[in-house]
């Protein structure tokens, strides 16, 4: 076992890319709101599947990630002692968006749309009807196709590409293929090494989001889809690298 003050995850960049290429893009833009509800963020041992949360809120904590700057959670806890080589994030698969591409297309106030192809019917060309809409992904191509999917995320750790996956899961058994009502995204990313958490381990976590290309309207203002979302996740810790 070698002691290391190296960051557990000094910079994990996740670039979320829509899994389905639109026929054509009418406009990509930064939304005025892009609200994601977080339920759990933590570390995981890929060999055993054991998880330990850093953040957990069973009711969910909604963050508007369209706001610039670092975002934190209301409360954090140290993970349980053990060894971990992955980070995981559980968020709602329903995301609230609001905005316009500047060409006369807007999100439709109060609209709610579920889709398996990443294209949501939450748009309007009537400015008086503009407002916040809710999008819900119910499958990756079809209902029941819940992942894991790799094309959705491109990850890098300290400038080097790392493996990131996404799946659709339930709150009752949040593992891919675990059954139940699908109502969560599960993101899992490798963190480069296996780290040992002990009683003396300390650390911090922060998210930095860039939603400048977060939403795309397409099909003559008939559909909305997610554009390119950049997420910089920084975790610093004095955890040891397990040998």
- CA atoms of 227 and 243, how far apart (whole Å): 40
- CA atoms of 121 and 113, how far apart (whole Å): 6
Q: pTM here? A: 0.86
Confidence of residue 39 (pLDDT cuts 50, 70, 90): very high
- CA atoms of 122 and 64, how far apart (whole Å): 18
Q: Is the residue at 2 inside a domain?
A: no
> Regarding predicted confidence, which is higher, 129 or 77?
129
Q: Is the residue at 81 inside a domain?
A: yes
Confidence of residue 159 (pLDDT cuts 50, 70, 90): very low
**So what's the pLDDT on residue 111?**
97
**So what's the pLDDT on residue 151?**
41
- Give the distance between the most distant pair of CA atoms in the chain: 63
Q: Which domain holds residue 140?
A: 9-241
CB–CB of 9/235 below 8 Å? yes
Q: Is the residue at 56 inside a domain?
A: yes
127: DSSP letter: G
pLDDT-wise least confident of 6-20, 159-173, 183-197: 6-20
% of residues, the chain, pLDDT over 70: 82
> Regarding predicted confidence, which is higher, 122 or 148?
122
**How many Cα atoms sit within 13 Å of 72 on the Cβ side?**
8
Q: Is the residue at 25 inside a domain?
A: yes
Q: Is the residue at 4 inside a domain?
A: no
**So what's the pLDDT on residue 243?**
66
Q: Is the residue at 153 inside a domain?
A: yes
Q: How many domains does the chain have?
A: 1
Q: Is the residue at 90 inside a domain?
A: yes
Mean pLDDT of 194-203: 90
Task: Please name every residue paired with 231 in a beta bridge, in sequence order, or none if there are none.
Answer: 14, 209
- CA atoms of 210 and 13, how far apart (whole Å): 11
Alpha helices in the chain (DSSP H): none
CB–CB of 114/213 below 8 Å? no
- CA atoms of 130 and 188, how far apart (whole Å): 35
Mean pLDDT of 75-90: 92
Q: Is the residue at 185 inside a domain?
A: yes
């Amino acid at each position: 076992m070698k002691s290391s003050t190296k960051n557990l995850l000094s910079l994990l960049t996740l670039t979320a890319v829509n899994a389905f290429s639109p026929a054509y893009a009418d406009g990509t833009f930064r939304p005025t709101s892009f609200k994601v509800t977080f339920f759990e963020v933590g570390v995981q041992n890929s060999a055993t599947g054991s998880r330990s949360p850093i953040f957990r809120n069973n009711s969910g904590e909604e963050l508007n990630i369209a706001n610039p700057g670092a975002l934190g959670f209301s409360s954090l806890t140290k993970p349980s002692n053990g060894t971990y080589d992955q980070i995981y994030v559980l968020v709602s698969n329903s995301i609230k968006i609001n905005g316009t591409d500047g060409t006369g297309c807007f999100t439709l106030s109060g609209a709610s749309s579920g889709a398996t192809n990443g294209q949501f019917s939450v748009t309007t060309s009537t400015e008086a009807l503009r407002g916040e809409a809710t999008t819900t992904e119910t499958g990756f191509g079809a209902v029941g196709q819940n992942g894991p999917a790799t094309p959705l995320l491109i990850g890098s750790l300290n400038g080097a590409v790392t493996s990131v996956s996404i799946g659709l899961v339930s709150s009752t058994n949040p593992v891919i293929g675990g059954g139940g009502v699908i109502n969560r995204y599960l993101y899992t990313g490798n963190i480069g090494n296996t780290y040992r958490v002990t009683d003396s381990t300390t650390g911090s976590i922060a998210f930095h989001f860039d939603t400048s290309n977060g939403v795309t309207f397409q099909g003559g203002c008939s559909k909305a889809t997610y554009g390119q979302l950049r997420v910089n996740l920084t975790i610093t810790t004095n955890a040891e690298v397990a040998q």
